[in-house]
């Protein structure tokens, strides 16, 4: 199964996925390409160092649809079957989502459906929740909305800043994302309506 990863910035989740695949922790898989919409994304260098093909598909002055069509074409050209968003800072168009039905994943640094969108860790602190965490979910046409594959809860401490909470959540993001991908590729889960449930034989 060929995996394509989309990033915009740092790429620590991307690195975790690449390393897990290269160590054989995600069976029968290969990261075929890392695509960034930003030429300066730190993650591009990290992917190159790990011998993964990288590509910049800049937004330029194009519509979301035009930009997405180019990314979809690059993914399809490489026979990518699973798309992992890893800090990709742009909503996907309807056509992108439809090009990979139930085959696009995202990771978000909160326990969805709480705190969608940007600065989720800051939102959690400001709201005053005692626990937050991270969520791996399928991507649909709405922001941070698709069916939830896996979640991990993390404590919010009294002295947390958005940065300290983000760092505590991030450690769990890496393992949660890799485990979710492995489960999907091993056929261990199925989607029933909005619910992602274990396949029992
Ligand atoms: C992570 O916190 C992820 O949950 C969110 O964006 C951040 C990306 O970090 N979607 P990185 O680029 O994977 O280091």
C-beta 11 within 6 A of ligand 1: yes
Q: What is the pLDDT, as a whole number, of residue 50?
A: 98
Tens digit of pLDDT for each residue in 51-83? Answer: 999 999 999 999 999 999 999 999 999 999 999
DSSP string, 111-132: -TTSS-SS-HHHHHHHHT-SEE
- At residue 173, the pLDDT reads 98
Kindly list the strands in the beta sheet with 148-155, ordered across the sheet, starting from the edge strand earlier in the chain: 54-56, 30-36, 2-7, 82-85, 104-108, 131-138, 148-155, 195-198, 189-192
Instruction: Compute the distance from residue 200 Cα to the ligand 1 centre, in Å.
Output: 32
Residues 107, 141: Cα–Cα separation, whole Å: 15
- d(CA 109, CA 190) in angstroms, rounded, equals 23
Per-domain residue ranges for the chain?
1-101, 106-201
Rounded to an integer, what distance in angstroms lies between the CA atom of residue 115 and that of residue 172? 17
pLDDT of 200 reads: 86
Digit-coded pLDDT (tens) for 139-162: 999 999 999 999 999 999 999 999
Q: Can you read off the two tokens belonging to residue 59?
A: 């937004």
- Is 137 a known active-site residue? no
For atom 5 of ligand 1, which residue has the closest CA?
87
pLDDT in tens, 102-135: 999 999 999 999 999 999 999 999 999 999 999 9
* Ligand 1 touching residue 133 (CB < 6 A): no
Q: Which CATH class is domain 106-201?
A: alpha beta
* DSSP state, residue 81: -
Domains 1-101 and 106-201 share a fold: yes
The domain made up of 1-101 has a fold known as Rossmann fold (3.40.50)
Q: Is the CB of 108 under 6 A from ligand 1?
A: yes
């Amino acid at each position: 199964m060929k995996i394509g990863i989309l990033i915009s910035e740092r790429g620590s989740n991307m690195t975790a996925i690449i390393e897990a695949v290269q160590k054989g922790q995600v069976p029968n898989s290969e990261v075929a390409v890392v695509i960034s919409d930003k030429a300066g994304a730190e993650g591009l260098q990290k992917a190159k160092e790990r011998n993964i093909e990288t590509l910049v598909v800049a937004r330029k002055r194009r519509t979301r649809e035009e930009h997405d069509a180019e990314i979809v074409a690059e993914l399809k050209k490489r026979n990518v079957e699973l798309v992992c968003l890893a800090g990709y800072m742009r909503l996907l168009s309807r056509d992108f989502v439809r090009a990979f039905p139930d085959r696009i994943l995202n990771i978000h640094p909160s326990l969805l459906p709480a705190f969608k969108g940007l600065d989720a860790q800051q939102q959690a602190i400001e709201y005053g929740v005692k626990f937050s965490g991270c969520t791996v979910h399928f991507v649909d046409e709405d922001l941070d909305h698709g069916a939830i594959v896996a979640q991990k809860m993390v404590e919010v401490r009294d002295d947390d800043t958005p940065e300290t909470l983000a760092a505590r959540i991030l450690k769990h993001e890496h393992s949660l994302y890799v485990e979710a991908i492995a489960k999907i590729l091993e056929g261990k889960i199925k989607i029933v309506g909005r619910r992602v449930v274990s396949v029992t034989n």
